[in-house]
Amino acid sequence: MARQPRLHEFRLIEQLRRAFGRTGAAVARGIGDDAAVIAPPKGRQMVLTTDLLIEGVHFDLRTASFEEIGYKAAIANLSDIAAMGARPEYALVAIALPASCTTPRILRLYKGIMGACRPYRVALIGGDTSVSPNKLFLSLTVTGSVPAGCALMRSGAQAGDLLYVTGTLGDSLAGLALLSHGRRRATPSLTSSERKFLVGRHRRPIAHPGLGQLLSEHRLASAAIDISDGLSGDLHHLCEQSRIGVEIDAAALPLSPALQAYARASRTDPVALALQGGEDYELLFTVPPAKRRTLHRLARRAGRRLTCIGMIRPEAFGVRVRETTGRLRRLPVTSYVHF
Ligand code: ADP
Ligand code: MG
């Protein structure tokens, strides 16, 4: 702490505590002591995840606002909690601040983080603050809980299970492409509302803890993962850990009207966008066929869009895509690369 007077740090932490901290029945001690003290959730298991974001590696302060960086950091963690079938509960935030990070900027960063957390009533219960020689570092930890024995793993899928995905795929990648300059001229036929939708999906993705909990609490899913690096890459993780293969039906992939318009305008293959697009934060999960009807009934009641995009096959089948022409081809592992 040699390069920053402790007084400023204390003042900042006090501001954060007042704006975002919470104590209550379950939080005996939040921000302000040596560590937080929380009541263990009865009959439940804790689920913990952490993400480290580094300026210049995971985000760029020239193109993203502090609020957007905080928001997306929180979504990445909330999506991990969702993919375990858990309910998000607490957040801890560690930051290393370069001199350029003034208090208003840090408060905007937290506004983004806590804005993403608010719908789930996640409480900020602690963190750590340091100076950094020149880059901003942000490490976010989110905890949650799940009924004991109900957590959704990547490893439970079995041949014959159905493969499902929430929402639509590829929108975030198309939004990112639209943000990188030159694309506006390359896609003149895209309407402003289509543009806005895709950019919004990139800038303000959403996580799906509600659906994750529905899947775990009703014991519907045999395995689950969130799509942070693209369907293709994340599906390979699921296949490896479950020791299974999969057949994806290209014609079934859920594509938004805006993504289809973007693909036409940019002459790209919408299926490739859906398979490779990163940062969609949709949930990918497998369901035994006997539970299919219950799944559809509960999803309809919750107003959630789910799409069956394929079927789990034995490991020797590999990971393949049934193209619209009927041809079956291997799906290469392609993962989203930051920037
Ligand atoms: P210590 O030196 O014991 O680690 P700190 O001064 O770092 O104590 O932290 C004091 C309190 O403030 C703790 O409750 C800690 O969790 C909280 N805190 C520190 N930095 C942050 C931060 N960036 N965001 C949220 N809470 C923080
Ligand atoms: Mg500390």
Q: Nearest residue CA, atom 11 of ligand 1?
A: 32
* Mean pLDDT along residues 230-245: 96
What is the percent of the chain with per-residue pLDDT over 90, rounded to a whole number? 87
**Contact predicate 224/283, CB 8 Å:** yes
Cα 173 to middle of ligand 2, angstroms:
37
The better pLDDT of the pair 333, 96 is held by 96
What spacing in Å lies between the alpha carbon of 139 and ligand 1's midpoint? Answer: 13
DSSP, res 246: E
In a domain, 339, yes or no: no
202 and 275 housed in the same domain: yes
Q: Give yes or no: residues 85 and 223 share one domain.
A: no
Q: Are 89 and 168 members of one domain?
A: no
Ligand 2 centre to CA of 252 (Å) is 49
* Residue 334 reports pLDDT greater than 70: no
Is the CB of residue 31 below 6 angstroms from any atom belonging to ligand 1? yes
Domain end, chosen from 120, 147, 174, is at 147
Domain shared by 39 and 102, yes or no: yes
In a domain, 170, yes or no: yes
> Residue 333 — very low, low, confident or very high, per pLDDT cuts 50/70/90?
confident
pLDDT at 339: 35
pLDDT of 107 over the 90 cut: yes
Q: Which residues surround ligand 2, an ion (CB under 5 A)?
A: 128
Residues 117 and 171 in one domain: no
User: For residue 314, how far is its CA from the centre of ligand 2 (angstroms)?
Assistant: 49
Same domain, 174 and 319: yes
Tokens representing residue 117 in the block: 């957390």
Phi-psi region of 12 (alpha: psi -120 to 50; beta: other; left: phi over 0): alpha
> Please, what is the Cα angle at 88 between 28 and 84, to 5 degrees?
135
Rounded to the nearest 10 degrees, how much is the dihedral formed by the CA atoms of 311, 313, 318, 321? Answer: -20
* pLDDT band for position 188 (cuts 50, 70, 90): confident
Same domain, 248 and 137: no
Q: Is 101 in the pocket of ligand 1 (CB under 6 A)?
A: no
Q: How many CA within 13 A on the CB side of residue 156?
A: 19
**Residue 88 and residue 226 share a domain:** no
pLDDT at 338: 42
Whichever domain contains 36, its CATH number is 3.30.1330.10
Residue 84, in any domain of the structure: yes
Note whether 70 and 185 are same-domain residues. no
**Cα(20) to centroid(ligand 2), Å:** 17
CA distance 201 to 87: 23
From the CA of 33, the nearest ligand is 1
Tell whether 292 and 173 lie within a shared domain. Answer: yes
Is 157 part of a structural domain of the chain? no
Residue 15 lies in a domain: yes
pLDDT range class, residue 57, cuts 50, 70, 90: very high
Q: State the ligand closest to the CA atom of 95.
A: 1
Q: Domain limits at 267?
A: 162-330
Asked whether residue 64 falls in the same domain as residue 26, the answer is: yes
Residue-wise pLDDT tens digits, 148-183: 999 999 999 999 999 999 999 999 999 999 998 655
Per the structure, the count of domains in the chain is 2
Mean pLDDT of 42-63: 95
The answer to whether residue 37 sits within a structural domain is yes
Give nearest CA residue, ligand 1 atom 3: 34
- Lowest mean pLDDT of 54-63, 180-189, 214-223, 245-254, name the range: 180-189
Is-above-0.85 flag for pTM? yes
| Cα separation, 264 vs 260, whole angstroms | 6
Last residue of a domain, one of 114, 147, 180: 147
User: How far out from the chain centre does Cα 115 lie?
Assistant: 15
**Of the residues 147, 176, 202, which one is the last residue of a structural domain?**
147
Is 152 part of any domain? Answer: no
34 lines ligand 1 (CB under 6 A): yes
Q: Tell me, what CATH number does 215's domain have?
A: 3.90.650.10
**Angstrom distances, CA of residue 92 to CA of 60, 70, 116, 126, 233:** 22, 13, 14, 5, 28
What's the pLDDT score for residue 4? 52
Residue 4 within a domain: no
pLDDT in tens, 281-316: 999 999 999 999 999 999 999 999 999 999 999 999
Could you tell me which residues come within 8 angstroms of residue 65 by beta carbon, excluding any fewer than 6 positions away?
Answer: 108, 112
| pLDDT for residue 186 is more than 90 | no
Same domain, 207 and 292: yes
